[in-house]
Amino acid sequence: MTAPMRVDPAIVNVALGARSYDIVIGRGTLASLGPRIAALRPGAKAIVVTDDNVARYHLEPAEAALHGAGMATSRVIVPAGEASKSYRVFEQVCEAIIASRIERADLVIALGGGVIGDLAGFAAAVVRRGVDYVQVPTTLLAEVDSSVGGKTAIDSAHGKNLIGAFHQPILVLADTALLDTLPEREFRAGYAELVKYGLLGDSAFFAWLESNWRDVFAGGPAREHAIAMACRAKAAIVARDERESGERALLNLGHTFGHALEAACGFSDRLLHGEAIGAGMALAFEFSARRQGLLPMADAKRVIRHLAEVGLPTRMHDIPGPLPGVGQLMDLIAQDKKVRRGTLTFILVRGIGAAFIETGVDPREVRTFLGEKLAER
């Protein structure tokens, strides 16, 4: 499989009936933001929600694109980082939207990474009982995952993304040129969510990434091709299971372990979300291989080798600083949103590209496995 040369942006439709929307993927698409929104919502005004890092690079071009289409705008800028997915910052964003006189026929624009998309999307879901919003993701992680599918949330002291709502955007505009300003660590963290689509349901895509990941990092057609592949995979799953009542849970491959590690690190720069998911997927593959031999250990090692080659953490030893004991990690896992009546549900694998949902996982198995992995530190 080779990455096709592309001049026009790729368009991926998320088919949800009357609430369907397009994901527009391409280099330089930010300039089309105003005309695209004006075509969808003529006469609407908008408030742009962003963070102080993104604002430095992309806020003025985004506002220029909106003003060029005759749209009136306001802005709210929050601190960068996971800490902004809090009650306090959520309140500030909601109050700013109301103070800007954004009505139900107007728009919120989420300009940023996963934190901004989750935060702004949740605010849009509840202010005036729901206003439309547009996702303009500025990180790889957001372009391939969090901007698509309508999951919005803030964090609780008990865990990540525990307070939120399903609220679909009306447009996702993924300008791949915006990724040029990302630090390498942030891009690498986003790659974890990109490769996830190969690991959970497309072994050929994973094999392509094994051969072409350096070109994806470098940019150009390979990057756009990989992002479009990931978005098509997620769009198809969301269209079949919008509210995660079944198949959509597969998108949480690596997240049960990963979210627990992320919470153990205080949702801080010590372990970025994508890094946590990389470690979580490595654990999920090894746990699957050990658990009644669901897949050959050679497959698990192949996956772990690729994640490590890219530079993602794959072992507890790769996570800087102290980690809590097994008991606290199990407590964090118990807060996972897939827990049902106190029983654990994991996304496990029968092979590369063959993920499945396993309910009723024995906590003793998980405890023993984590104890062994912690002992390796």
State how many domains the chain has.
2
Q: Is position 186 within any domain?
A: no
CB 48 within 8 A of CB 64: no
Amino acid of residue 264: A
- Tell me how long the chain is: 377
Q: 285 and 156, same structural domain?
A: no
Positive or negative: CA dihedral 253, 141, 22, 5: negative
Q: 99 and 16, same structural domain?
A: yes
Structure-derived torsion over alpha carbons of residues 29, 278, 159, 367, reported in degrees to the nearest 10: 160
- Burial of 131 from C-beta contacts in 10 A (0-12 / 13-18 / 19+): buried
Q: 371 and 277, same structural domain?
A: yes
Of 142, 158, 181, the residue that ends a domain is 181
Q: Is position 188 within any domain?
A: no
Q: 177 and 38, same structural domain?
A: yes
Of 181, 210, 226, the residue that ends a domain is 181
The catalytic residues are: 129, 151, 193, 234, 244, 248, 252, 255, 259, 273
- The pLDDT assigned to 136 comes to 98
- The pLDDT assigned to 292 comes to 75
Q: Is position 220 within any domain?
A: no
Q: 46 and 143, same structural domain?
A: yes
Q: 372 and 274, same structural domain?
A: yes
Q: 177 and 32, same structural domain?
A: yes
Q: 159 and 45, same structural domain?
A: yes
Q: Is position 232 within any domain?
A: no
Q: Which H, E and C letters describe the chain, residue by residue?
A: CCCCCCCCCEEEEECCHHHCEEEEEECCHHHHHHHHHHHHCCCCCEEEEEEHHHHHHHHHHHHHHHHHCCCCEEEEEECCCHHHCCHHHHHHHHHHHHHCCCCCCCEEEEEECHHHHHHHHHHHHHHHHCCEEEEEECCHHHHHHHCCCCEEEEEECCEEEEEEEECCCCEEEEEHHHHHHCCHHHHHHHHHHHHHHHHHHCHHHHHHHHHHHHHHHHCCHHHHHHHHHHHHHHHHHHHHCCCCCCHHHHHHCCHHHHHHHHHHCCCCCCCCHHHHHHHHHHHHHHHHHHCCCCCCHHHHHHHHHHHHHHCCCCCHHHCCCCCCCHHHHHHHHCCCCCCECCEEEEEEECCCCCEEEEEEECHHHHHHHHHHHHHCC
CB 195 within 8 A of CB 299: no
Q: Is position 192 within any domain?
A: no
Of 132, 150, 181, the residue that ends a domain is 181
Q: 260 and 173, same structural domain?
A: no
Q: 171 and 303, same structural domain?
A: no
Q: Is position 294 within any domain?
A: yes
Q: Is position 236 within any domain?
A: no
Q: 276 and 132, same structural domain?
A: no
CB 65 within 8 A of CB 32: yes
Q: Is position 217 within any domain?
A: no
Q: 169 and 29, same structural domain?
A: yes
The enclosing domain of 261 has a CATH number of: 1.20.1090.10
Residue range of the domain that includes 317: 253-377
**pTM given for the model:** 0.93
The enclosing domain of 115 has a CATH number of: 3.40.50.1970
- Along the 377 residues of the chain, how does pLDDT read in single tens digits? 556 555 689 999 999 999 999 999 999 999 999 999 999 999 999 999 999 999 999 999 999 999 999 999 999 999 999 999 999 999 999 999 999 999 999 999 999 999 999 999 999 999 999 999 999 999 999 999 999 999 999 999 888 899 999 999 999 999 999 999 999 999 999 999 999 999 999 999 999 999 999 999 999 899 999 999 999 999 999 999 999 989 999 999 999 999 999 999 998 899 999 999 999 999 999 999 998 789 999 999 999 999 999 999 999 999 999 999 999 999 999 887 666 666 899 999 999 999 999 998 999 999 999 999 999 97
